[in-house]
Amino acid sequence: MEILVPEVGESIFEATIAKWHVAEGNRVSKDDLLCELETDKISLELHAEDSGTIHLNVEEGKTVKIGTVIATLIDSKNVAEAPKPTPRPESIAPQAEPAAVPAAPRKLAAVPTPSPAAPAPQPAVAGTPKTVDLPHPADDERVRRVPMSPIRKKIAAHLLAARQQTAMLTTFNEADMSRLMALRGEYKDAFQQKFGVKLGMMSFFVRAVVAALKAVPEVNARIDGDDIVYHDFYDMGIAVGGKKGLVVPVLRDADRLSSAEIETAIAEFSRKVQTNKLTLADLEGGTFTISNGGVYGSMLSTPIINPPQTGVLGMHNIIQRPVAIDGKVEIRPMMYLALSYDHRVIDGKQAVTFLKTVKEFIEQVDASLLEL
């Protein structure tokens, strides 16, 4: 049975053998993990479709075209008949007669001879310490050079293009998270009991962003040549950090989803990212992106747009800070919000309006959203 690099999408033409999980001649069973493949968009695992003995055709780290036979699986019944790789005979050079080696000249201690222009060398004084030059390690010995993975290359090119091809800037605001946190604390157990998924922050922010996109449609648009294309649907990219970099699976028709459906979909995205199960269909499209750097402790950042989208919302960590409330100083749980946007499409007033809409939605969130 030939094991081929599978087709994973119309726009993917090659894949890299990131890691073999089996060695040449290993016995494998059905569904055993054979290797990890990386493309410029996704990582995927290849599992055995049957039992047998594996013979590898492509080395780890090599990049091959889609459809390439990277290994052969020989059925256990035919293992005895399978051709075994013939070890390449090592060429043994005939031993030559030992050649006569001239005696190495004895090195005599060099005695400096005084020149007419230089003073005669002074004899060493007993007890004078010698200066010893310790060997300094070469710079090459203290660095590691690792090839960029296909996914990392794609991320690098995509982010660089975002900076070079858009008029990107960022505006900021802050949200008082008191009401949301109190609501979440009160209803999280009932929510999980009813829907079987934890109640996080993201469902509230997805709802808030949908409301803001409806209020400011320019943020839910893209440039196509000399035209601005407005999307009357809301496919929300949710940035998720994985072992191999940041990926942005897309929450389709977010405006039609309940809070439980949003939380379930995001939990499934996280599971897929951690197990390399994301598909190209999970990543395609998207009209706006939400990035939550707060899960890593980020207090404030300027997220980068995900072209051809024109905006991205940056969430951050929640910090207890003193704020002025009705002329008094109170300690409140506060979150900074950042909207990076393409100024070619979105004016400053529109950007500020969008962010204020998100802020007001979060600060006035209602329990009816949970549908308990």
Q: Which residues are catalytic?
A: 343, 347
Tokens, residue 75: 């059925």
Amino acid at 298: S
Compute the distance between CA of residue 307 and CA of residue 286 in angstroms, rounded to an integer: 10
Q: DSSP state, 21? A: S
> How many whole angstroms separate alpha carbon 256 and alpha carbon 363?
22
**What is d(CA 3, CA 47) in angstroms, rounded to the nearest whole number?**
10
Sign of CA dihedral 295, 337, 253, 156: negative
Residue 213 neighbours by CB under 8 Å, 6+ apart: 219, 220, 234, 287, 288, 354
Write the CA distances from 213 to 52, 303, 311, 354, 357, integer angstroms: 54, 18, 10, 7, 9
